[in-house]
Amino acid sequence: GELDKGDFEHFMLKEIYEQPKTIEETFRGRLKPEYSEIVLGGLLNVFPRIMEAERIVIVGCGTSWHAALIGEYMLEEYARVPVEVEYASEFRYRKPVLTEKDAVIFISQSGETADTMAALHLAKEKGALVLGICNVVGSSLSRETDAGVYTHAGVEIGVASTKAFTAQVTVLTMFALKLAKAKGNIGEEEYQELVKELSQIPEKGKQVLENNEAIKQVAEKYKDAVNALYLGRGYLFPVALEGALKLKEISYIHAEGYAAGEMKHGPIALVDDNLPVVVVAPHDAYYEKIVSNIQEVKARKGNVIAIVTEGDKGLKEMANDVIEIPKSHPALAPLLAVLPLQLLAYHIALLRGCNVDQPRNLAKSVTVE
């Protein structure tokens, strides 16, 4: 059942393993046969207004904010709509410019986060169209938005969000592709390829989870780290942020996520033989760039743990450790690449004797400011 751990030692591990199933739940009934159409019933009535929006703003906190960043990249690449991503806590206080021509999407697992709700009230006041992407049915967010999409990931108990994140990214993917198609900004072939690829993510996700033992061994090597750096580019930059957040939340190791191209503007000063650097480096358009980032880390004796596309030989030689993920479309790689990072954080936290399901000082849902 949803409220017990079943065969798993912790809720977090159970929820990580549920993801092939929960991602499927999220797109179930929403991808029409032959990849012909994406149906998001909750948005039906407001879709004409979404089409007219001159800008989309996506608001969230924590892991939901990371999902928003992936949504931004996808919506701009395929739907060609300008997108801003905002922390709810900043947005609500900083006098943002908002009009009826904006569509604002609020992302929240719980639908009860105080800052997100306050940001929603502000956007409503300004006359913007307000939409929700939410996991908890009947939550405050789902009641107060004009329309929205449920993520259907099921109850998430671990304080560190895992399956809710991949469900949010799945919804954002469907939304971006639907809007791209409606606007005529994506070719039919690429659209079909992406939808097909989305439908294959659960299978590929299962393959990633089969690397659990290998990931545990990597965790053994780095469990005593004091700091860790996570790097990625493009769609994998938000995944680097999310990987770092998972590690710091549950293991209390100080971890930073960075856009790999920004490393030279600061984090490279931290690289020495004590620093694990997790680099999300699948085979995509950024591959050569990220390989040179890895060389820069290695030249300074940093320890590189690379998330690579299966069969990658070059990085196997260059990196200290590699974790493979199946080949996928670059825009969908986040759904696969985040899985080993969740497992890595889990195992490191466990080896350090931390309470992975209920980390100190954190709450599942922050309903007061």
Kindly list the residues in this chain that would bind ligand G6P in the complex (CB under 6 A).
Answer: 61-64, 108-110, 113, 116, 159-161, 362, 364-366
Contact 151, 122 (CB under 8 A): no
Which residue lies nearer to ligand G6P by CB, 61 or 277?
61
Phi, psi values for residue 108, rounded to 5°: -160, 125
Q: Which is nearer to ligand G6P, 62 or 257 (CB)?
A: 62
Residue pair 365/269 in contact by the 8 Å Cβ criterion: no
Provide the sign of the torsion angle of the four alpha carbons 94, 100, 105, 108, taken in this order.
positive
Pair of tokens at residue 19:
């993801």
Crossing angle for the helix pair 11-27 and 333-351, to the nearest 10 degrees: 170
Q: How far is the CB of 111 from ligand G6P (least distance, A)?
A: 7
For residue 369, the minimal CB distance to ligand G6P (Å) is 13
| 364 flagged as catalytic | yes
CA dist., res. 369 & res. 367, Å (int) = 7
Minimum CB separation of residue 37 from ligand G6P in Å reads: 29
What is the identity of the amino acid at 31? L
Which of 107/332 has CB closer to ligand G6P? Answer: 107
Min CB(68)–ligand G6P separation in Å: 10
Catalytic residue among 5, 206, 216, 364: 364
Q: Least Å distance between CB 121 and ligand G6P?
A: 15
Cα separation, 60 vs 86, in Å, equals 7
Interhelix angle 163-182/333-351, nearest 10 degrees:
170
**Residues near 116 by beta carbon (within 8 Å), at least 6 away in sequence:** 59, 60, 61, 64, 88, 106, 107, 108, 141
Which residue, 140 or 328, has its beta carbon nearer to ligand G6P? 140
What phi, psi does 38 have (nearest 5°)?
-115, 125
Nearest approach, Cβ of residue 234 and ligand G6P (Å): 22
Q: Would you call 19 helix, strand, or coil by DSSP?
A: helix
- Name the residue nearer to ligand G6P (CB basis): 163 or 204: 163
Cβ-based nearer residue to ligand G6P, 160 or 332:
160
- Least separation in angstroms between CB 118 and ligand G6P: 12
Residue 65's Cβ-side half-sphere holds a number of Cα atoms within 13 Å equal to 16
Contact 360, 225 (CB under 8 A): no
DSSP 179-219: HHHHTT-S-HHHHHHHHHHHHHHHHHHHHHHTTHHHHHHHH
* Residue at shortest CB range from ligand G6P: 62
Our CB check for ligand G6P shows the closer of 64 and 309 to be: 64
Residues labelled catalytic: 364
